[in-house]
Chain A
Amino acid sequence: MRVKTLMRTRFSTVSDDTPLNEARLALAREQTDTIPVVRAGALIGLLRACDIDALGPSTVPSLATHDWAWSSSSLTVRAAAIADALTLGPEASVHDAIRLLVSQDLDAVPVVESASIVGMVTTRDLLGVLLDRLDSAHRTGLDRVLVVVDFDEGTAAAVAAGVALARQHRARLTLLHVLQARWRSLLWPGRPREMLDWARREERVGRSRDLVALVPRESGLEVGTLIATGGPGAAIVAEASRLAADLLVVGSRPHRPFLGRDLTNELVERAPCPVLVVRPGSALGTEESVGRAGA
Chain B
Amino acid sequence: MVMLEDLLVVLDGQVPGERIVGWIRRLCRTSGARVRLLVVREVEGTVWAGTRPVAFASQLEDAARLEGLAYLDGVAGRLEGSGIQVSSDVRFGPSIATVLDVARDSRAQLVALAASGDAGRRDALGRLARQLLHRAPIAVLVARARDQRAA
Contact = CB atoms under 8 A, between A and B. Distances in A.
Contacts of A246: 26
Contact of B151 (A136, A269, A275): A136
A86 B142 CA distance: 38
B2 A286 contact: yes
B148 A284 contact: no
Contact of A275 (B14, B31, B137, B142): B142
A180 B74 CA distance: 47
Contacts of B25: 136
B129 interface: yes
30 contacts: A1-B15, A5-B71, A10-B118, A125-B15, A129-B15, A132-B18, A135-B22, A135-B151, A136-B21, A140-B29, A160-B2, A164-B2, A165-B27, A168-B4, A168-B30, A257-B134, A261-B133, A268-B115, A268-B142, A274-B20, A274-B141, A274-B142, A274-B148, A275-B141, A276-B140, A276-B141, A282-B139, A283-B109, A284-B4, A284-B139
B100 interface: no
A276 B22 contact: no
Contacts, number: 121
Contact of A283 (B29, B31, B134, B138): B138
Contacts of B21: 136
Nearest to B31: A168
Given A161-B139, A284-B138, A6 B30 contact: no
A273 B74 contact: no
A248 to B, nearest CB: 10
A136 B2 contact: no
Most chain B CB atoms below 10 A, which of A132, A257, A269: A269
B36 interface: no
Interface string B92-112: 000000000000000001100
Nearest to A282: B138
A270 B22 CA distance: 19
Given A135-B150, A142-B26, A164-B1, A264 B15 contact: no
Interface size band for B:
35 or more
Contact of B4 (A139, A165, A282): A165
A285 interface: yes
B40 interface: no
A120 interface: no
Contacts of A294: none
A37 B121 CA distance: 26
A142 B142 contact: no
A132 B134 CA distance: 28
Contacts of B142: 268, 274-275, 277
B139 A164 contact: no
Interface string B119-149: 0000111000110011011111111100011
Interface string A107-147: 00000000000000000010001011001100111100000
B29 A6 contact: no
B149 A276 contact: no
A265 interface: yes
A286 to B, nearest CB: 7
Nearest to A281: B137
Contacts of B26: 136, 139-142, 246
A273 to B, nearest CB: 7
